[in-house]
Every structure is written in structure tokens, then in C-alpha cells.
Structure 1
Amino acid sequence: MHNSDVTELSLTNPHSQPTSTCLAALDSRADGLTGLEAARRLAQHGPNRLPEAQTRGPVRRFLAQFHNVLIYVLIGAAVVTGALQHWVDTGVILAVVLANAVIGFVQEGKAEAAMAAIRGMLAPRAAVLRDGARTSVDGADLVPGDVVLMEAGDQVPADLRILEARGLAAQEAILTGESVPVDKVVNPVAADAALGDRRSMLWSGTLVTQGTARGLVVAIGTDTEIGRIGGLLAGLEQLTTPLVAQLDHFARWLSFLILLASGLLLAYGYFVGHHEFSEIFMAVVGVAVAAIPEGLPAVMTITLAVGVQAMACRNAIVRRLPAIEAIGSVSVICTDKTGTLTRNEMVVAAAETPEGVFDISGEGYAPEGDITPAGNLDGLARAATLCNDAELRLRDGHWSVEGDPMEGALVAFARKVMDEPRALTRRLDAIPFDARHRYMAVLTEGPAGRVTSVKGAPERVLGMCRDTDLKHWHDRAEALARLGLRVLALAERPETGERIDAATVESGLGFLGLVGLIDPPRPEAVAAVAECRAAGIRVKMITGDHAGTAAAIARQVGLENPGRVLTGAELERLDDAQLALEVSNVDVFARTSPEHKLRLVTALQANGHSVAMTGDGVNDAPALKRADAGIAMGLKGSEAAKEAADLVLADDNFASIAAAVREGRTVFDNLKKVISWTLPTNAGESMVVVLALLAGLALPITAVQILWINLITGITLGIALAFEPTEPGTMARPPRARNAPILSGELVWHVVLVAFLFLAAVFGIFTYAIDRGYPLELAQTMALNTLAVLEIFHLFFIRNIHGTSLTLAAVRGTKVVWAVVIAITAAQFAVTYLPPAQAIFGTRAVSLVDGLLIVGIGVVFFAIIEIEKQIRLGLSR
């Protein structure tokens, strides 16, 4: 029967080959393989599953948190200060480093699991023919050449070429994005047919919704369509976000600059200034610690973590911390259609009878809605529900369908027209739907007698009707189809017999009318698209569905350019350069494959866009992973999509994306505030020490005092900025450019201005104290407190980077801001006035008058930088 010496079994484009050719190419036959041959092929080809994905263990993930240039520098500083037995300094530095690592480990600990999720989609068991008899085997034991038996409700265990089919349909939304089940046939289709048009195939991981079939296994494991997508995921490098990349680059050069400057300062102080080496070394360490924003990684991680909680309240679950910043900076959202912009629930939206055209309102499968204008649709409704195998169920206040989604929509439509259309009727006979005759017929008996009800493709049913204007109704069916509706025709006739067959049914019917079905857009998605467009974000639909349906939904949700549709076949003819030109002008892409989605995302990124990709199917997973921000649907999304994504929407609502963008922009604003607050204060602290060393003056602030001020203010005040609310007008600003530098000219100017104001204020108060004859320790204490006051006033200034800080809301602040300010003030009072702290930090008590003077300096500092900001904002308008 089989040639056991066969080592290569190859079959190209099985969907376009006759079944006999497929059987011959795989050395099989219609009654299946022998058990011995199946075992041999299993040993040759391996099991029907995907390879395990390699993951990092918890130890490696924890150690990876230390892989940062700033952290390396801080660890080096901790080692040096430890060698010099400056244990307080060492403890402070190590505490910051460890806190940063722990936070990063906890928040980013979940390993990549997309491959595992796709593996789980393979069916655990399969019914096959072995030795001519039906038997059940583990899905992993299927081999090329096996003949698998399928029926309604089965999950397809491998890619199958259909050998026999009776009324077969399969739900393929996870691969193609098409809302309704696809009718399957035995006959070959074109070799270049798109995935969704290969009706002679059943795909691994999809679901048989009706009928029975016998299929030949033509691909298993990594060779299946799902396996191929898994291969795309495995070989795909996940992009870092723009901010993370910029911070890494910034940290490297800042660390190099600080180390170089510290080395030159050490050499100058020792060889030119003739300071003691230990003395100058500790002073230089103080400068380095003051200049290095050691709290920045920890505070930024905390800021992102706060954003995680805020997004969770908006039904957006964050899987990777940097994704928060990424979603806030996107300029293009590539969205799937089915289940994302639409409800993934079919509904009858229109009906047309000889009496006229009717609009039907309502949502989902709920049998509630209005029909306008009023008219008699009882006949249409009765036929729609009698010629039907679906049932509606109300569970937990939500209507769902058992059976074909399109038939469920017809039942809901019928219930809107009349109560209990099936009441007092019983089915006598039926002709199931078959792709060959393209209709379904049912004979029922009820109060009005026996009736045959028929539904099917308009061009088929109209030809079965008597006394019908075929051209008129064909034109009307095409008009409904151009609106993106899937059109069915319904007809009926009285019967006297107890049986029906094709020979008698296919003529003499009375035409009832047409119904148009659609997977409608979510109402909130329309508002969300409008909000995204107002925020300068372009929304593009990428779907596996038909071009007409995609264009209709695009118009309804308000995409910018819904009239131009680019199909997968057209994409194939474009090279990367041509695609980069087209992708900017086209907003609707239909009949796309996973590779097409990847190419589109990559082309948009090549044009400088930050791209978010939304989706719910396995076919979306590679593009979700490649995008700057991958967003999966949490309720109806596949596990593969969720695990490949950066964010998961808990409510499957496109409107939550707009809310996530708003939260992401808020998080980025807060990160920018942290950076804008940290860099100038650190620069000001270090410049005070550097100037004193270069000028040969006494240090206005000692190294241990610098460490104290960094510990008490560097992290605490930065954390306060992490909790800042959204500023007004956040969604009215255009997206941040993908290549926008982290150190903009505006930020550099702010760093320079604040640093010099810090320098002038600290040296000014220090000089004032020395001139008044105060002891050096008291003068240094006043300088230390001046630094603390300036940093607090700088915090209130930086809270409003896009508007004025002189408002009641700005002064009122947040609970976190005032809690931190009170805590820092109490800590400074303790350091200044408590004897034990005075002994450790070399401080002295400051008089009330001098304290008020220090606060006055803070007020003047705030006034200067606020006036400068208002001048700058006025010039930029």
C-alpha cells in the first residue's frame, strides 16, 4: 500500500491540486495510512507541535536589571567609597541600585510566551483513519498523509486538504480576520488565491462550525499556517521604545562625560591645587555623585509602574513597562477590523422586500431594536427563523448565539419583527446548506400548514423564484453588497408532501426579500477614532476580510481615507520602496496575510512613525510583536496575540486605546518632568563643588551633605512627579517625533539656566554667611538648606511644563507632592537642629531670620524661571 522507502513527501500549493494528486504526492489514499507507516512517518517528521521557546530564568532576569551604564558607574562609586570606609555613602548608593533592580524585576518579570500560546492552539485529540478504521490519536501524533475525520465543533488539528465535505464551514477569524464562517469545497482553487479564499483547505487551530469532512494532512507543526506565524514570532526582534533607546544612549555619554570631568578635576586638584589626595578624591566623588542622576532609573521605573496602575483603571493591562511610553508617542495605529473596530457579532442591518427598504437597528444578538419605516416583514422574519439551525441564549444579561453567527443574526432579526416566529411549528425535512447548491431549505408544519422556506445566495435563490424581476433584484443585491453588507435572499412556498428534495425545491418559489448582514462597528470606536485623529494620530485598518466590507466599516468609523483600499494581492506586487510611498496615503488594507501586516508596520516605521498595532487573532501576533506598541484584545483575543502584545485591553474596546494613549502621554510628560527636574538640580549641585575646587575656596557643601541632599530629595521629589495628573490639552498636542532627542534645545537651556541660578544662590548665601562671620559649618548648613529649598520650588515649577505654574490648581498640588514636601522639610529640620544629625553631617542650627532669607531666595528663583517660561511659551505660539 505504501512505499516505506519514501523519504521525501512534498506537496506545493495543495489548495490548487486535485485530491488525487494530493493523495499521490503524500503516498496516501482515501482510507488513510497503516499504523506502521504512520509510526515511521512520525519518527521521520517529528510530532505535530511547535518547538519550545527558550526563556530566561529568574536569576538571569534579575541580573539583567543591572545592565545599565549609570548603574555600573554607581556600583563602581560604591566600591571606591567602601574601600575608603565611607560606609554611609556606600549604603546610600547601593540602596538606590538595589531598589531600581527589584522594581524592574518585579514589573518586567513575565517572560515571552507567544510561542507557547500558539502551541496550545493545536488540538489535543484527532479522529483519523488508520488501517482503514476510525481511531482517535493524540494531535501531536498526526503525520503528513493521515486522513482526518472532522465534524461541527471540532478544532482542526493540522492543515488539511479537503477530500470530502458535506455542508462544511469553518470559522477562520483567528487567521484571516473574516467575521463569518467560510464555506468549504472539495474542488481546487487558484494557486495564487489569498489565504481566506483557499476554500479547499482547513487550517490548523480553526474551528469547524457546521457539516462534516474528510481531510488529508498536508502540513504539521512548524509547516502549518499557525506554525509559520510562530516562526515569524520566533525570528522577530522586539523593538525597544524610543525613550528607552534614547535614555540608554544618553546614560552612556553622560557617564563618560562625568567620569572624564571627574578625572580632570582630580588631576587638577592634586597636581595644581596641591590638595591631599584623600581629601580631593572624596571631593571628586561628591562631585560625581552629585552629577550622576543615580535616582533617575529608579524614579523612572516607578513612574512607569504608576502608569501601569492608571492604565489598568482604563482597562489597558500593561505587560512591558516601556510600552507605556511607546503608546503615548504613537503617530499611527494599525488596527484589525473584526472584534476591534467591530463587535465580532453579525447583525441584520437592512432588509428589502417588494414593499420597500427597511433599516433595522439594534446591537449584537439581542432581539431588540427598531424597524423603520414600519411595514409587514412577517413573512421574511418567519422564513429567516424557520430556515435556521441557530439558537439565541441569554446568559448573565448578554445575548449569545449557539450555531452559525449569521444564522444567529437572522434569529435576532426575526424576533425583532414578531414574537416566537417558530411557535407551534415543527420541522419535517431539510436540505442542509452546501457550497455546491448555495442554499438551505427547510420543510415545516405549523398553524398555516406546511411551508418550504429557503435562504441562500441571491443569485441562486432568485433563479428559483417565479414571477420575479431578476435584473432589478440582482441590482438591489449588488447595491447592498457595495455597502459592505453580506446579502441573503429568502423565499417560500406552500407544500403538501412530507419530504423535499433539490429537484422539487429549485423552482416555483415565492420571493420574500433580501436581508443585509454586517459585523457592525462599535459606537465607541467611532468616537475613539475621532479622538485619535484630533490628537494627530492616523488610524489604519489592516484586515483579512474582503475589500468591500473593509471599506464600508472604514467609512462608518471615520477613517481619514476610506475610499482607497489596498489588497494583499496588490501588496505582493509592490517592493519595499513602493510600499513605503503607498502606506502613508492608504488607510484600508484588505485580504492581508501575517507577512503583509509585518511589512506594513515595518514600512510605517521606516517612514519615521511610531506604530501601535491592535489585533486579536493568531495572524496578528507577529505584527503585534514588531510594532512599537502591540495591543491585544483581552476578551476575544487569542492567547498568542495577548502574549505577543505589550498591552492587553481588558474590555476589547477600541475606545480604551484612546484612553491608553492619553495615559501614555501623561506618563511621558511625567518622565520628562522627572528628567527636567533631575538634570538641572544635579548640575547645580556639582557646579557648586567644581567652582569651589577650581577657585581654591572652601567647599560651600561637603561630600556627605551632597549625598544627603541626593538621598532625601533626589528620589522623593522625583517620585512625587510620577503621580502628576494629565495636563489640560494633552490630547490636542501632536505626537512626539520618533527621532525627537531626549535633550532638546529647550531642556538644555533649562539645565543651564537652573544650574547657574543654583550656583548663584548657593554661593550667594554661603558668601553672605562667611561675610557675617558665621562659622564654616553654619555657612555650609545654610547652603545645604538653600539647595533643599531651591529643589522644592523647582518641583512646583516643573509640575506644569505646558502651562503656567501660577494657578490655584498648581499651588494646591497633589497629596503626594505635599506629603513629600512636608517629609523633606521635616528631614531638613532634623539635620539642621538635632545634635546627633549635626554630628554626622557637620551642620549647625540656622536662625529664624536666616531661614526666612533662604525661603525668600527660593521665591525669587521660582519667579525668575516662571517668567522665563512664560516668555518662551509666548514666543512659541
Structure 2
Amino acid sequence: MNDTTDASPHALESMSSAEAARRLNADGPNELPGQGPRSLVGIVREVLTEPMFLLLIAAASVYIVLGDVREAIILAASIVVVVSITVLQERRTERALTKLRDLSSPRALVIRDGVEQRIAGRDVVAGDLVLLREGDRVPADGVMLEATALSVDESILTGESLPVEKTKSDSPEHGHVYSGSLVVQGFGTARVTATGARTEIGKIGGVLKTLQPETTALFGEVHRLVRWIATAALILCAAIAVIYALSRSDWLGGVLAGITVAMSVLPEEFPLVLTVFLAMGAWRISRVGVLTRRMPALESIGAATILAVDKTGTLTENRMQVVAIETRTDRADMQPGASLTDAAQQVLGIALAASERAPFDPMERAIHTAAQAFAATAVEQLRGMELIREYDLTPELLAVTHVWQPAGADRSYIAVKGAPETVMELCRLESAQRAELMKRVNANAQRGLRILGVAHGTTPNAAFPDTPRSFELQFLGFVCLADPLRTDVPPALAECKQAGIRVVMITGDHPGTAVAIGTQAGFDVDAGVLTGAQVAAMDDETLRQRARNVNIYARSKPEHKLRLVQAFKADDNEVVMTGDGVNDAPALKAAHVGVAMGGRGTDVAREAASLVLVNDDFKSLVAAVRLGRRIYTNIRHAMSYIVSVHIPIAGMGLLPVLFGWPLLLFPVHVLFLEFVIDPACAFVFEADPESDDVMRRPPRPRNEPLFSYDMLKRSIGLGACVMIWTVCVYGIALQWLDDSNARALAFVSLVFANVALIFVSRSRSGDVRTIARRHNNLFWVMAAVACVALALVVYIPAAAAVFRFTPPEWEWIVTVAIATVVLVLVAGRWLRFSPKRTRPAGAE
């Protein structure tokens, strides 16, 4: 017999929100040591060890040796500015990550001010009343106040795999729960006694540390490219220094020339782009109700070809309502003000007796509401009984059985509700009776109703059997519930079809209910429906073939979900899978992107998933796919720009040495260009809105490299065009102007080319009108700031002296600037990048 009490959790004395805030401020958040964000000092230390800053320090040192103190001071000041900007970017990213850690941390259901509230686990304080349900992670140490069939897995503390039964007891083993342990069965209420480092797991040593960045194909590809280019930059730096020194007998000048080329070649923006874009992308997705637990999911969800979703709460509103009661002989619709027959009231009363006393499940809440309105006598009778035994719903027996004992009676009453087939089996109905009743079940299911069978019986007050199959039961009828389709599902589903994404429904509901809801939503149901039993009976190859066409899966259990995920993956699909239960964790882990339900989901499901839907809304999931595509597209545009812009900068550091011309670029020039490049990478491209056709393109192939041949061909081609043009401008200017005039003119060309490259890189097609329609105010602000800064360093004498400029005639500058912009725009249109993609297998 399970330990139960008559008190409801809401009747227990709960803490006020004001007192909880005071304790949180006094005791600190409910976190283990080592979970905090990086400190400002740590970020600065990391920034200063970057190769770019080491090169700047080396260049400043060379200027000091040369006796050029002014140049050294300018570089030192630039280092301070660049470090400040970089630290601000890092802090911005860190703040976004911290907010996401707070939001996606394990949630806790507490009672404050007498009301149930779901809060972040870090906000739980000593004294809180915590409600524990199957699948929850215990947020803090506590003492049990109530327990019903409650078992907890404490292996994280003890290493013991067997769950421990919890009761209202003075025993530390059975009467206390501990932070980090997992509720595997039942429910209960606990009073928190310790949080954070004061918990048992905190005392053991604070073993949880900040999550390490995960290495994915995207990160691996970028890191390999950075290492390769960095190696090439060092070799080129040494070669230029030697060539310059030998040809001009100036070793210090050669070192400066080598440092300049190395600075121009180093692609330090690559990791910056990945870090900022994914962190900010996770923040953007959180604003539409999707939390990111694992950053790599953002690069995967945009490539999704299959979305496998549940019905209840995702496609429907999860707002159940009892709409009809069917007895063995008649049907009663639950209209306001209607009165039920005695037989219908008995069906509703038994359904209430087979439900939890403090309901959490939407169906059970609907049954409670209907019973209070239409079966008040049954509600009153139940208050005079004691619940003495529960048989929970299991995957093998889809029914709940409660045994109630009236005061002073020698026999107890049995109440059963569950899947109609299961309840009929428990009642041992003859096949003819089952067939007749199943016709009524199918008729209701075709209307989109959720059907529960109801049965009752009596039993002596003796030892109860281990399974409800041993009881003598009488079938009473059905409870019919409706869960309306979300109004935004049909347009979201149509958007997925347009994007080449196939959506499949996997539900535990009756096949007729699933097909009815699927038809209302706009699913293609021509291929019929597969039940869990049919899935289990198929071999892998047969299931893979059937899964290509069938979009509705009913009466599905978690093991069937796992097999379906594997079948979809075997057909080269990128699979996004939703789930909410403890047993859904394997399927969520097996999917390329697992998505847990934030509202009704368990902590186990959330920990196994990569993303969490805060409001369990299908529209939010589609929005995440759209944002995932936008993030990946913008990353690719930024990477394309970085490749393009470094070619002319590196070329203009190298070619004047080889041609015997005066040097065009010095470290201060590269720094100026970096002030344009870095904000463009960190802000402009990240803020670019999605293109109009982002959800009209088929998904990108899973194995498509970030730096594909076509992308590199366009990027290198654009960079080569700019380099050749700048070489021509500098070479011709040297014939007509002195060195400082020619340098200023060529640098103007390089800066305007840089701005134009940012513009054309914002689209694969390079079409000016298409790019202009994608409003991005940050681009125009950045372009204006770059032009003003250029004018200052060219025309203000003190600044021009630092840059070794003498201003040429303004007609020359205007002509070169306009010609440069036109050249880049034409080249961008000519070197368009429009990869051809075919729809993946299984896409509609």
C-alpha cells in the first residue's frame, strides 16, 4: 500500500514570493560551483593571446626600436580600442549565453503564494514547496510531505541503480529527496531544506562544470581552415621579411612588411562569426519560445527534412474538454445546463475516481471540471472514501486503476479508465461485444475526439493482486474528450511543405482521432495510418519503405518512436523529433535535433533534447527552422565576405614588395580595415533578415560543406577582382603622383571595395535590387562610419601623417571610389552563387 494523505499540496503552507526573493538574495542561486560565466579578466586574457594582437604588439615594438614613437603610440592606442571592442563583443555573447543557461536550466514546479508556479531550478530556495512528478529532476534537497507511489533514482549520488521508494517518513533514506536525483514513478510534495553548494551533491564536490563547446562538422571545418591559413601566414610573413630585407637592405622594414602581410592574411574573424552568430541565434530563437540547450542544433535544424511531432499540445491546444458521455445504451452531449442520466453520471464519476486527486494531466483536469458540473453526487461520495491502491498506466497496460475504500465497509470499489481496447480486455468482453463497441469508438475518433473507456468493480479488503487483470470488472461506457486544433497549425504546416520539409505526426491516440486531426491540419493522409503494433511487426527495411509515404502514426509508444527515427535517418533525412516523456529520451537523442516540450515535458526529456519548446507550440518549431536557415545563410555570407576581403588586403601587402614599389599597407592600415571588417562580421551579417524565399527553398544537403567549391569560387573571384583593380589603381597612380598621394588613392579604393564587398556578399545572387530590399540599417550605419573615418585619415593632416597620406585631388578620389563600387557590384552579379539543390527523399 502506498503512503497517501488527505491533504492537497495547495493546503500546505507555502512561501510568499517576497520571502522567496529575500532568501534567494541571501543564499544565492541554486547552482553548483563552477557554473558561472567567464569573468571580465578571463575574457581580456583570452583576447590578448590571439595571434592578431600578438602581431600588433610586435609591430609596436619594432616602431619603438626604429625610434618612431608616434607610430608606436598610435598602434598601442589601437590595440586598446580593438581589445575593448572585442571584449564588448565577447561580453555580449556571454550575456546571451548566460540568459540561455538560466532559461534552459531544469525547471521546478513550486507552490508560492498558494499558486503552482514553474520556475528555473536556480531560483528554488530553502523552504519552497516543490511538486515532484514522474520524469522530473529533483531541484534541491528536501523532506517529503506527501508521496503517492513515489520512487526516485539516486544513482547520481549513491551509484545504486535501483530506485528508492519515498514516503512521508523520518528516515533519511525514504523521507528525504536529494538534488540531482530523478523521479521515475509516482508523484509527491517536498519541502526544500538545502540548495546549491549546501546540497548533498554540492558537498561531494561540485562536479558540474561549465559545458565545454561541442565540436561539430561546421566548427571542425572552420578550425581546419584557420589552422591551414595561419600556417601559410607565418610562412609568408617570414618569406616577405627576408625578400624585403635582402632587396632593400632593411631588416626592420622587412619585419614590418612581414607582420603586415601576416595581419592581412590571418582570418581571425572565422571563429568570431561562429561564436557570435550561434549565440545571438540562440537568443533570437528564445524570443519565439524555443530554448537552445546545445548550440550545434542551430546549424542542424535549418537543414531539417522531416519534423516528427506529437499531436497533443503541439498540433492541438492541449485544452481538453469532456464533450460527451456514452453508456452501454445511449449518448449524452455535455451542453451547458444539460442534465445527465444516472448511468452517464456513473460513467463520469468512475472516470473521476480513476483520476489523480490533484490533476496535472489536461484530460484529468477536464474530467474533474466536468464531474463538478454534472456529477456532484459522485464527487461528494468520493470525498468520503480513502484511496488505498493505485495501478499506474504502463506501456504494457494502457489504463489507470484506483482502489477506493469507503469508511467502515468490508469491500472496496475499483475504478478504471484508459484506452478503450485495454479496458474492454480487462472486462473480458466477448468478441462480438468488443466489435460493436469499437464501431462506436471509431465513429467518435473520426470526429477527432479522444476516447477513454471506463469500468468498475468491487473487491474484498484483502491482499490486492499485482495487476488489475485479476479483478472482476464491468464495462460502463466511454468518456469523449475534444482537444481543438491550434488555429496557426494549418498555415505553419503549409509553410513546411513549401520549404520541402515533411511533417509526420506520431501520437498515442486512436488511429481515427489521429487521422481526423491530421486532415484538419492539412496532412497528406492518402497513405493511411500505421499503428505502433504494425511498426513493431515490420522489419527495418519494410518500415523504411513504408515510412517514406506514411505521415500519421497512431497508438505509438516510445520504442516505436525510436524505430521511426532510425527509419527516417536510414533514408538520409535530417530528422527533428519532439518528445515529452522519460521514455522519449532515446528517440530524442537518436534524432539529429531532439526537441523537448517545455510545458508538459519531463526534465529527462529536456536533458536529452537539443532544443526546448517553451509553449509546446508547432508554430514556434517552424519559426525555429526558419531562423535556423537564416542563421546558416548569414554565416555563409559572412564567411564568403571574409574570404573575399582578405585576398586584396593580403595581395596589397605582398605585391608591392615583389614589384619593388613603395609599401602600400602598414600595420595601421590593416588595423583601419579591421575596424570595418570586424563590425561587419559581428553585427551587419548577423542582423541581416532572412530572404523572401528562405522557406521556399528545399533544405540544404546534410553533407554540404560550408566552404563549397561554388562558394569559394565566387569569393576568391570577387577578392581577385578587387586586388587586380587596386593594383592597377596603385600602379597607375605611382606614375602620376608621389608615393603618399598614390597610397591614399589606392587605400580609398580598398576601403570602398571593402564596403561594396559587404553589400554584395549579403546575397548569393549579387542582385542589387534584391539586396537593397533586405533592410539592414546596421550596414548603412557601418558604411557611413567607414566613409567618415576614411575622410578624416585622408584630409586631417595629423591623421594623414600617421597613415603616410598626402590627399590627392578630390576629383581623383570620387572617380576611384565610384569606379570601385561599380566594379564590385558588377563582379558580384557576374560571379553569382546559386547552388542547385534537389528535394531530399521523403519531402513532399
TM-score calculated relative to the size of structure 1: 0.65
Query: Equivalent residue for 1:828?
Result: 790
Alignment of 1:386-401 (within 5 A): 386-387=349-350, 389=352
Query: Equivalent residue for 2:619?
Result: 655
Query: Equivalent residue for 1:284?
Result: 258
1:255 aligned to 2:217?
A: no
Residues 1:650 and 1:143: Cα distance change in structure 2 (over 3 Å): closer
Query: Equivalent residue for 1:397?
Result: none
1:317 aligned to 2:291?
A: yes
Q: Could you say what secondary structure the match of 1:711 adopts?
A: helix
CA contact (8 A) 2:272 2:682 kept: no
Shift of 1:781: 0.7
Shift of 1:733: 1.2
Structure 2 residue aligned with 1:790, among 747, 753, 768?
753
Give distance in 2, aligned partners of 1:607 and 1:356: 48
1:855 aligned to 2:817?
A: yes
Alignment of 1:399-798 (within 5 A): 402=359, 405-406=362-363, 408-410=365-367, 422=376, 427=381, 470=433, 473-477=436-440, 479=442, 485-488=450-453, 514-517=478-481, 522-540=486-504, 563=528, 565=530, 567=532, 588=553, 592-593=557-558, 609-621=573-585, 624=588, 628-642=592-606, 645-716=609-680, 719-772=683-736, 774-798=737-761
CA contact (8 A) 1:617 1:638 kept: yes
Residues 1:538 and 1:54: Cα distance change in structure 2 (over 3 Å): farther
Residues 1:566 and 1:831: Cα distance change in structure 2 (over 3 Å): farther
Residues 1:463 and 1:863: Cα distance change in structure 2 (over 3 Å): closer
Q: Could you say what secondary structure the match of 2:286 adopts?
A: helix
Deviations 1:581-602 (A, max 9, x none): 88767764865558x8678767
Deviations 1:386-412 (A, max 9, x none): 5564899xxxxxxx9857754543466
Query: Equivalent residue for 1:307?
Result: 281
CA contact (8 A) 1:241 1:323 kept: no
Amino acid at match of 1:857: A
Amino acid at match of 2:726: V
Shift of 1:751: 2.1
Q: Could you say what secondary structure the match of 1:732 adopts?
A: coil
Give distance in 1, aligned partners of 2:675 and 2:426: 84
Residues 1:358 and 1:789: Cα distance change in structure 2 (over 3 Å): farther
Shift of 1:304: 3.5
Query: Equivalent residue for 1:120?
Result: 138
Give distance in 2, aligned partners of 1:71 and 1:581: 54
Structure 2 residue aligned with 1:81, among 37, 50, 59?
59
Higher-Rg structure is 1
Deviations 1:780-807 (A, max 9, x none): 0111111111122222222232573225
Structure 1: gaps (5+ residues): 1-18, 20-51, 130-137, 160-173, 176-202, 210-220, 223-230, 361-366, 370-374, 393-399, 444-451, 493-505
Deviations 1:466-509 (A, max 9, x none): 9x9946733424535876843436999xxxxxxxxxxxxx99x9
Q: Could you say what secondary structure the match of 1:333 adopts?
A: strand
Shift of 1:680: 0.4
Give distance in 1, aligned partners of 2:836 and 2:738: 47
CA contact (8 A) 2:303 2:702 kept: yes
Deviations 1:721-743 (A, max 9, x none): 22111110101112222221121
Residues 1:724 and 1:149: Cα distance change in structure 2 (over 3 Å): closer
Shift of 1:607: 6.3
Deviations 1:369-388 (A, max 9, x none): 9xxxxx99767764555556
TM-score calculated relative to the size of structure 2: 0.67
Identity fraction in percent: 26
Amino acid at match of 1:263: A
1:245 aligned to 2:220?
A: yes
Structure 1 residue aligned with 2:764, among 791, 801, 814?
801
Amino acid at match of 2:814: L
CA contact (8 A) 2:56 2:667 kept: no
Deviations 1:603-643 (A, max 9, x none): 76676544434333344456556655443333333344445
CA contact (8 A) 2:760 2:825 kept: no
Deviations 1:828-876 (A, max 9, x none): 1111111221122112223221122022212431342244156x65999
Give distance in 2, aligned partners of 1:874 and 1:95: 39
Amino acid at match of 2:769: L
Residues 1:424 and 1:434: Cα distance change in structure 2 (over 3 Å): closer
Amino acid at match of 1:799: R
Residues 1:811 and 1:632: Cα distance change in structure 2 (over 3 Å): closer
Give distance in 2, aligned partners of 1:143 and 1:434: 24
Shift of 1:64: 9.3
Give distance in 2, aligned partners of 1:616 and 1:329: 23
Shift of 1:684: 1.4
What value does the CA root-mean-square deviation take over the aligned residues?
Answer: 5.7
CA contact (8 A) 2:726 2:749 kept: yes
CA contact (8 A) 1:336 1:541 kept: yes
Residues 1:95 and 1:593: Cα distance change in structure 2 (over 3 Å): same
Shift of 1:745: 1.8
Give distance in 1, aligned partners of 2:620 and 2:823: 42
Give distance in 2, aligned partners of 1:143 and 1:768: 79
Q: Could you say what secondary structure the match of 2:768 adopts?
A: coil
CA contact (8 A) 1:348 1:515 kept: yes
Deviations 1:747-804 (A, max 9, x none): 21122221222122212222332222x2211110111111111122222222232573
Q: Could you say what secondary structure the match of 1:614 adopts?
A: strand
Residues 1:711 and 1:408: Cα distance change in structure 2 (over 3 Å): closer
Shift of 1:305: 4.2
Amino acid at match of 2:258: V
Shift of 1:414: 7.8
Alignment of 1:172-321 (within 5 A): 204-207=184-187, 240-271=215-246, 273-321=247-295
Give distance in 1, aligned partners of 2:213 and 2:336: 45
Give distance in 1, aligned partners of 2:650 and 2:579: 49
Shift of 1:293: 2.5
Give distance in 1, aligned partners of 2:529 and 2:565: 18
CA contact (8 A) 1:283 1:702 kept: yes
Amino acid at match of 2:636: K
Query: Equivalent residue for 1:170?
Result: none
Give distance in 1, aligned partners of 2:686 and 2:161: 56
Give distance in 2, aligned partners of 1:245 and 1:379: 69
Deviations 1:71-125 (A, max 9, x none): 7533542453354355654653655664554444444454996699764169944
Shift of 1:662: 0.8
Deviations 1:236-287 (A, max 9, x none): 999644432322222222222333333343444445x355222122112111
Amino acid at match of 1:253: W
Residues 1:281 and 1:811: Cα distance change in structure 2 (over 3 Å): farther
Amino acid at match of 1:635: G
Shift of 1:549: 7.3
Q: Could you say what secondary structure the match of 2:692 adopts?
A: coil
Residues 1:869 and 1:99: Cα distance change in structure 2 (over 3 Å): same
Query: Equivalent residue for 2:469?
Result: none
Give distance in 1, aligned partners of 2:379 and 2:706: 72
